[in-house]
Amino acid sequence: MLEAASLRGARRFLFASSNEIYGENRGDKELFDESYLGYIDCNSLRAGYPESKRCGEALCQAYLKQRGLDIVIARLTRSFGPSLLPSDTKAMSQFLRNGASKEDIVLKSKGDQLYSYTYAADAVTGLLTVLLKGECGQAYNVAEESFDIPLKEIAGIIAEEAGTKVVFDLPDAVEAAGFSKATKARLDGSKLRALGWSARYSLREGIHRTLKCLKNTK
């Protein structure tokens, strides 16, 4: 994509990165700003995911310097919405599918993980804000602090909206190996807010709208 943009004289290139680039919280920051380095164990089973995000951003910087390509980077949080794929295995997506089907919400952990989330419509406006207003070469977290909530509370909200309940089903070692090891990953969205962006929907509104759409498409 970078090569195609360079050859065709693209006016601007937006790279959709994610919170995965920060790896694990080393306990030294409550919120990850865009300069935070985090920690990634490159010898772990799941390392290819966050490492690929870092590689992608490094390629962006290379094309900016060597080809003069105008590039901006948006780092998305754990985003959710009615367009989630049936193959999506992330916890939030599983919870929403369970809720739409009137099934119990299954937690594969104690649910203490504290993450940032973004409703799909707000993620899109965040991407557009970075594309239209971002500074060349800069990365921006697309995050709203009011969406930072423990996983078990997310499960509880979805269960409440769906009229079901939360059940715990702790994974075995094989299943757990594919899960993110991060237990706390909150993004600082102040840099993007300085460009004029803010989330339009609350977390509960996003969940309600997603469940409504999923139920109507069954």
Hey, how many other C-beta atoms are within 10 angstroms of the C-beta on 99?
25
Q: Take residue 83 and report the two structure tokens written for it.
A: 């367009």
Amino acid at 75: R
| Strand partners for 16 | 74
Q: Take residue 134 and report the two structure tokens written for it.
A: 């971002």
- Torsion over CA of 212, 124, 62 and 5, rounded to 10 degrees? 100
Beta strand pairing call for 149-150 and 114-115: antiparallel
Q: Take residue 159 and report the two structure tokens written for it.
A: 């269960």
User: So what's the pLDDT on residue 90?
Assistant: 86
User: So what's the pLDDT on residue 51?
Assistant: 93
Instruction: Using 50 as the pLDDT threshold, list the residues of the chain that sit under it.
Output: none
93-114 pLDDT, tens digit each: 999 999 999 999 988 788 888 9
Q: 119 to each of 152, 157, 177, 187, how far by Cα in Å?
A: 18, 14, 27, 15
Q: Take residue 82 and report the two structure tokens written for it.
A: 């009615």
φ, ψ at 59 (rounded to 5°): -65, -40
Fold of 2-216: Rossmann fold (3.40.50)
User: So what's the pLDDT on residue 156?
Assistant: 95
35-67 pLDDT, tens digit each: 998 888 888 888 899 999 999 999 999 999 999
User: So what's the pLDDT on residue 9?
Assistant: 95
Measure the CA–CA gap between 13 and 11, rounded to whole angstroms: 7
Q: Which of 52, 72, 203, 76 is nearest to 141 (CA)?
A: 76
User: So what's the pLDDT on residue 24?
Assistant: 83
Q: 147 to each of 2, 48, 61, 187, how far by Cα in Å?
A: 32, 27, 30, 10
User: So what's the pLDDT on residue 171?
Assistant: 62
What are the sequence ranges of the domains in the chain? 2-216
φ, ψ at 137 (rounded to 5°): 85, -5
User: So what's the pLDDT on residue 175?
Assistant: 56
Q: H or E segment at 112?
A: none
Measure the CA–CA gap between 53 and 18, rounded to whole angstroms: 7
